[in-house]
Each structure stands twice: as structure tokens, then as C-alpha cells.
Structure 1
Amino acid sequence: MQPTFNPPSTQVKADPLQRFLAALIDGLVTYIPFFIFTFISYRLAMLGWVFMLGYQLTKDALPEVGGFLGGQSIGKKLMNIKVIREDTGQGILGDYGTAIVRQVSLMIPIFGIIDAIMVLGDERKRFGDKWAKTIVVKA
């Protein structure tokens, strides 16, 4: 369930350490099953690859599962941060297009490093945030 309206200007931006730790947790969530599946069989490795890619692209728009997630990746949920739209202040729950746009920059090899550096700036926005017009804030 989305809040009615929460202006982004009233939100406190997530600090770079929170964002880094959330990304690290999300990386573990995706890569550990992939490596386990790869160890078991090649066919399971393909399934793991599909899961890994699907989760990484849509993790910030996933629906609530058993009272968990609801528009936050596992890492963001554990770090108590979330993605919101710049214009409305609402989360991106169910907005898979915006979630994918946010992640495209991370699929370009050198952009991942540049994005990490951009989060340290005053704006605390990486390319994906700028392209999708989103902000990462404290939940």
C-alpha cells in the first residue's frame, strides 16, 4: 500500500554507507544461491542465473512477501532505506520499468564504479537514480 503523498523534500537521504551495505547484502542474496546451484548442476546454474538477473533488475519494485519487502530490496529493507520518486515521494512498488531503469547503469561494467563514487557526492544520486528520477531515502 502506497502512502498518499510524502514530498521528497521532507525525506532524509540515505547515507552512502547504508547504500553500500544494502548493495552488498543484495549481492549476497543473488550470488550465494547462484554459486550453490552451479555447484549442484549446470541446469540449476541456469535457473540461478535467471533468478540473479531478475532479482537485480526488479528488486526495488517487488511486492510484499509475508510482510517483507514491499517495494524494498532485501538489502534496503535490512538497512531501513527505500527508493522513492523525485516528483511524488512515493515508493516504486510494482513499477518494474522504473526499477529496471535504475539498475541499467549497473549492468554497464565501468558505471558500477562510477555510480559508487557518485553516491558519495552531495546529491547522493547515481546514474540510475538520475535516469529513473528517483531518490534513496531513509525508510
Structure 2
Amino acid sequence: MEPTQYTPSPVTREKASPIIRFVALFIDGIAGYVPMLLLGIISYKLATLGYLISLGYMLTRDSLPFLNGQSIGKKLMGIKVIKEDTGAGIMGDYGTGVVRAIPQVIPLLNLVDALVIFRDNSKRFGDEWAKTIVVKA
């Protein structure tokens, strides 16, 4: 008898609403730029360090272990990112986190990407590329 291959069932968790996701993204935008602003106030030279910290947060925010795989905005709004096929969170999966975030750090594409969540399937470009969904935590 041959062993059967395991195929995970599709994730059936409740998806986060577009409004909640938009608010979480707005909060993350504020949280992401605080280091740049604070260090820039202290010194012009430190603004570059602040920019790098902000960029690092924006690219990896959903996979940071010290935030349990939720960005600050997602924590406050009670949502999280999971892989579409397995339902596993992306904590520590920096590759997936960065792929999700790329559209949000490219000027102009980030505006389009933020509004795309209001489409019927409510998936941003980054979620489509990384094969993730945002669900209620």
C-alpha cells in the first residue's frame, strides 16, 4: 500500500475587513517612521540611521519574533498574517514578510496597494505575491 500524500486543506479562518486592515496599515506607517523622526530631530546625521530602522521595520514588521509575528498596527487591530495554503503564521519567515511589504515601500505603488484591499477579494499585491491572507487573530 502506497502512502498518501498530505495536502493541506484551505484555510477557513475569518478574513480581516478592509477597513481594519487599512487602519492597521496607517498605524504601522506612523510607527515605522517614528524612529526616523526622533533621530532626525536629535541630529541630521542620525536621520539616516532612523531611516534604515524605519525601512527595516516596514519590510519585516509581520515576521518579527519579538512582536509574535504581528506588526504594531495588526496587534492593535487584532489581526495577523497567515500563509494561504497552511494557515501558519509568518513569524520568523522574513522572506515572506519582505515579499508582502515590497509594494508598500515603493512610492506611488504603496498608495495603489493600500487601496487595492477594497477590491472584491481584498488582497493586496504583496499578499498575492507572498500567498498570504490577513485574518482575525
Give the structure-1-normalised TM-score: 0.87
| 1:11-46 CA distance string (max 9 Å, x none) | 111111111111111111121221121111022212
Q: List aligned pairs for 1:1-139, cutoff 5 A.
A: 9-64=11-66, 69-139=67-137
Change (3 A) 1:8 1:83: farther
- Is the Cα contact below 8 Å between 1:7 and 1:89 reproduced in 2? no
Aligned to 2:4: none
Query: How many correspondences in the alignment?
Result: 130
Aligned to 2:3: none
Q: RMSD value over aligned CA atoms?
A: 1.5
By how many angstroms is 1:7 displaced? Answer: 5.5
Question: Aligned partners of 1:53 and 1:8: how far apart in 2?
Answer: 33
Q: Show structure 1 runs of 5+ residues with no match.
A: 1-5
Aligned-partner SS, 2:128: helix
Question: Aligned partners of 1:122 and 1:59: how far apart in 2?
Answer: 26
- Is the Cα contact below 8 Å between 1:16 and 1:120 reproduced in 2? yes
Change (3 A) 1:106 1:12: same
- Is the Cα contact below 8 Å between 1:13 and 1:124 reproduced in 2? no
By how many angstroms is 1:118 displaced? Answer: 1.5
Give the structure-2-normalised TM-score: 0.88
Runs of 4+ aligned residues of structure 1 deviating over 4 Å after TM superposition are none
